[in-house]
């Protein structure tokens, strides 16, 4: 019978008959030297177990089962101690487990009957456990990876090896945790993911065989995950640009930085949303409103996708405010014209827009716009007995308009 088939059969038989090992016959047994005993005992050894196979007395109805003894040191003397009772004559396999590796053991068997007779012991059987499965002795840890680490080793030379068990220990912790299992002797790479950044981890590897034997752990190796990029410093945001806020910062000197993330919020303590990913160390935020205030945060992102810590203190910027409206100083009329004069209140002002409305002040009627670059205007397109209202808007070099002045009304009458 092939070795693996024998061993598998032994394991199955052990599971089936395991409940019988602890149920010896209550009455004492009487020796019967004429009773045949167990013959042709074969053994298969592992590092911590020895399996037995023999020819059973299947066709002998008076046979009740078998008792197995192992020689042990007792009070300085070697004696055979009962280790198992198999209460079934057709049983033909047994596994003695939890043994020491690379150690010789001596066994003997007896047969007992239904009428409480027992045979003489069989010839002693000597079997030796195998040396402990050698662990992996050469492991290469790969550090400085983003939120992960990598282990490499050579394939185990024992062809009975079915794979490897990987265990991890967080530094400063005494607990080892199984984090992976590989099911092929030639599979010698393990990548541990979802790790913390800039964190040290310890690893060890155990070897496992097809028969379930697991080796002692390998030597311990230590890895360190990659740290986050350095936070962005010296961030500035403009306040003098029309309909635009330009954010600038000091370029990160790390050669692994591939870009920057810009976050924006309408308030200092509001939710910051990602609005742009850029390569350079500046960004222009286009905003249609004048005098619009915004808050910004910036982070650096490296080639592995790690993002730096974003500061809790945002930088404030705003688009250019509207110029201040002018101040009307003179509004007078004669029988055929109306004279309007004003003064500038903002040095940014380059020209003006005049809004004239004809009719009652609460009725929007005949609205006319005049553009001028002086600070006075003579309106001749007027008629008698009609009320006119005027508002003036200041305009800067960017075309940004101030809010209109308050309405100034006058009625044209004959002198």
**What is the CATH classification number for the domain harbouring 304?**
2.60.40.10
Do 84 and 156 have their domain in common?
no
148-153 sheet: strands from edge to edge: 139-145, 148-153, 189-192
Do 339 and 284 have their domain in common?
no
Are 112 and 35 spatial neighbours (Cβ–Cβ below 8 Å)?
Answer: no
Do 207 and 294 have their domain in common?
no
Number of domains forming the structure of the chain:
4
Domain finish residue from 128, 151, 181: 128
* Banded pLDDT at 25 (limits 50, 70, 90): very low
Are 258 and 265 spatial neighbours (Cβ–Cβ below 8 Å)?
Answer: no
Mean pLDDT of 62-71: 95
Do 307 and 287 have their domain in common?
yes
Domain finish residue from 224, 245, 277: 224
Do 345 and 307 have their domain in common?
no
Domain finish residue from 318, 348, 373: 318
Do 161 and 273 have their domain in common?
no
Angle (CA) 146 148 149, round 5°: 115
Q: Read off the pLDDT of residues 98-107 as tens digits, 9 standing for 90 and up.
A: 899 899 999 9
Enter the pTM of the model: 0.64
Residue 231 lies in a domain: no
* Banded pLDDT at 74 (limits 50, 70, 90): confident
Do 244 and 263 have their domain in common?
yes
Residue 350 lies in a domain: yes
Residue 134 lies in a domain: no
Do 289 and 377 have their domain in common?
no
**Residues comprising the chain, all counted:** 415
Please give the pLDDT value at position 3.
Answer: 44
Residue 133 lies in a domain: no
Residue 359 lies in a domain: yes
Residue 230 lies in a domain: no
Q: From CA 247, how far away is CA 315, in angstroms rounded? A: 9
Please give the pLDDT value at position 26.
Answer: 56
Assign 3-class secondary structure to the chain: CCHHHHHHHHHHHHHHHHHHCCCCCCCCCEECCCCCCCCCCEEEECCCCEEEECCCCCCCCCEEEEEEEEEEEECCEEEEEEEEEECCCCCCEEEECCCCCCCEEEEEEEEEECCCEECCCCCCEEEECCCCCCCCCCEEEEEEECCEEEEEECCCCCCCEEEEEEEEEECCCCCCEEEEEECCCCCCEEEECCCCCCCEEEEEEEEEECCCCECCCCCCEEEECCCCCCCCCCCEECCCCCCEEEEECCCCCCCCEEEEEEEEECCCCCCCEEEEEECCCEEEEECCCCCCEEEEEEEEEECCCCECCCCCCCEEEECCCCCCCCEEEEEEECCCCEEEEEECCCCCCCEEEEEEEECCCCCCCCCEEEEECCCEEEECCCCCCEEEEEEEEEECCCCCECCCCCCEEEEECCC
Residue 35, pLDDT above cutoff 50: yes
* Banded pLDDT at 132 (limits 50, 70, 90): confident
Do 31 and 103 have their domain in common?
yes
Residue 85 lies in a domain: yes
Do 331 and 397 have their domain in common?
yes
Q: Read off the pLDDT of residues 351-365 as tens digits, 9 standing for 90 and up.
A: 999 999 987 645 555
Please give the pLDDT value at position 6.
Answer: 40
Average pLDDT, rounded, for the chain: 89
Residue 22, pLDDT above cutoff 50: no
Residue 10, pLDDT above cutoff 60: no
Residue 45 lies in a domain: yes
Do 332 and 312 have their domain in common?
no
Do 22 and 121 have their domain in common?
yes
Percent of the chain with pLDDT over 70: 92
Query: Which domain covers residue 200, as residue numbers?
Result: 139-224
Q: From CA 377, how far away is CA 408, in angstroms rounded? A: 14
């Amino acid at each position: 019978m092939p070795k693996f088939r024998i061993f598998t059969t032994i394991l199955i038989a052990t599971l089936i008959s395991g409940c019988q090992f602890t149920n010896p016959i209550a009455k004492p047994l009487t020796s019967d030297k004429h009773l045949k005993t167990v013959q042709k005992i074969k053994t298969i050894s592992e590092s911590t177990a020895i399996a037995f196979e023999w020819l059973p007395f299947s066709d002998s109805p008076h046979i009740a089962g078998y008792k197995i003894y192992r020689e042990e040191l007792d009070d300085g003397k070697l004696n055979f101690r009962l280790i198992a009772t198999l209460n079934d004559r057709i049983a033909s396999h047994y596994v003695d487990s939890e043994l020491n590796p690379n150690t010789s053991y001596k066994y003997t068997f007896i047969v007992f009957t239904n009428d409480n007779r027992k045979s003489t012991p069989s010839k002693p059987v000597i079997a030796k456990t195998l040396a402990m499965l050698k662990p992996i002795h050469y492991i290469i840890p790969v550090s400085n990876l983003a939120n992960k680490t990598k282990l490499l080793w050579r394939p185990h030379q024992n062809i009975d090896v079915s794979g490897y068990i990987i265990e991890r220990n967080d530094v400063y912790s005494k607990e080892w945790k199984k984090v992976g299992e590989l099911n092929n002797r030639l599979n010698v790479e393990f990548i541990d993911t979802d790790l913390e950044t800039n964190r040290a981890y310890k690893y060890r590897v155990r070897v496992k065989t097809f028969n379930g034997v697991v080796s002692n752990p390998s030597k311990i190796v230590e890895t360190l995950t990659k740290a986050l990029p350095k936070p962005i410093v010296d961030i500035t945001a403009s306040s003098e640009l029309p309909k635009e806020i330009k954010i600038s910062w000091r370029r990160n000197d790390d050669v692994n930085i591939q870009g920057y993330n810009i976050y924006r919020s309408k308030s200092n303590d509001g939710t910051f949303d990602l609005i742009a990913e850029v390569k350079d160390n500046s960004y222009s935020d286009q905003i249609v409103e004048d005098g619009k205030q915004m808050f910004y945060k910036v982070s650096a992102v490296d080639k592995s996708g790690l993002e730096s810590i974003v500061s809790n203190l945002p930088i404030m910027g705003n688009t250019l405010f509207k110029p201040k409206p002018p101040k009307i100083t003179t509004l007078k009329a004669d029988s055929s014209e109306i004279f309007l004069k004003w003064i500038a209140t903002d040095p940014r002002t380059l020209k003006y827009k005049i809004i004239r409305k004809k009719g009652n002040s609460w009725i929007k009627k005949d609205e006319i716009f005049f553009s001028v670059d002086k600070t006075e205007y003579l309106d001749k397109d007027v008629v008698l007995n009609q009320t006119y209202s005027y508002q003036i808007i200041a305009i800067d070099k960017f075309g940004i308009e101030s809010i209109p002045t308050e309405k100034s009304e006058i009625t044209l009458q004959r002198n």
